[in-house]
Structure 1
Amino acid sequence: MKQLEKIIESKVKIRFPDCDPFNHLNNSKYIDYIINAREDQLVEFYDFDIYKLAQQEGISWVVAQNQIAYLSPATLMETVTIQTQLIFCNEKTLVLEALMWNEDKSILKAILWSKFIHFNLKTKKSEIHSEELMNLFKQIENPLNEPIAFEKRVENLRFSNTN
Structure 2
Amino acid sequence: MNSLPKVLESKAIIRFQDCDPFNHLNNSSYLNYFMNHREDMLIEVYDIDIYKMARKEGKSWVVGTSQIAYLKPAFLMEKVTMQSQLLHYTDSELYVEMRMYNEDKSQLKAILWSSFVHFNLLKQQREIHTEDFMNLFSAIQNPVDTLNFEDRMKSIKQAAVKL
Give me the TM-score of the superposition, normalised by structure 1: 0.95
Corresponding position of 1:155: 154
SS at match of 1:77: coil
Contact 1:70 1:109 in 2 (8 A): yes
SS at match of 1:30: helix
SS at match of 2:144: coil
Q: CA deviation at 1:161?
A: 3.5
Alignment partner of 1:5 is 2:9: no
Runs of 5+ unmatched residues, structure 2: none
Contact 1:107 1:161 in 2 (8 A): no
Alpha-carbon RMSD: 1.1
Alignment partner of 1:91 is 2:119: no
Runs of 5+ unmatched residues, structure 1: none
SS at match of 1:139: helix
Aligned partners of 1:67 and 1:149: how far apart in 2?
Answer: 10
Corresponding position of 1:26: 26
Contact 1:9 1:41 in 2 (8 A): yes
Give runs of aligned pairs for residues 4-153 of structure 1, distance below 5 A.
4-145=4-145, 147-153=146-152
Q: CA deviation at 1:159?
A: 2.7
Q: Deviations over 1:58-111 (max 9, x none)?
A: 101111110000000000000000000000101011011001000000000000
Read off the aligned partner of 1:80 and give its amino acid letter. Answer: V
Q: Which runs of 4+ in 1 moved over 6 A?
A: none
Q: Deviations over 1:2-60 (max 9, x none)?
A: 20000110000000010000000000000100000110011111121111111111101
Contact 1:108 1:158 in 2 (8 A): no
Percent identity for Structure 1 against Structure 2: 56
Bigger CA drift: 131-140 or 97-106? 131-140
Q: CA deviation at 1:158?
A: 2.7
Q: CA deviation at 1:148?
A: 2.2
Aligned partners of 1:158 and 1:105: how far apart in 2?
Answer: 15
Contact 1:60 1:121 in 2 (8 A): yes
SS at match of 1:76: coil
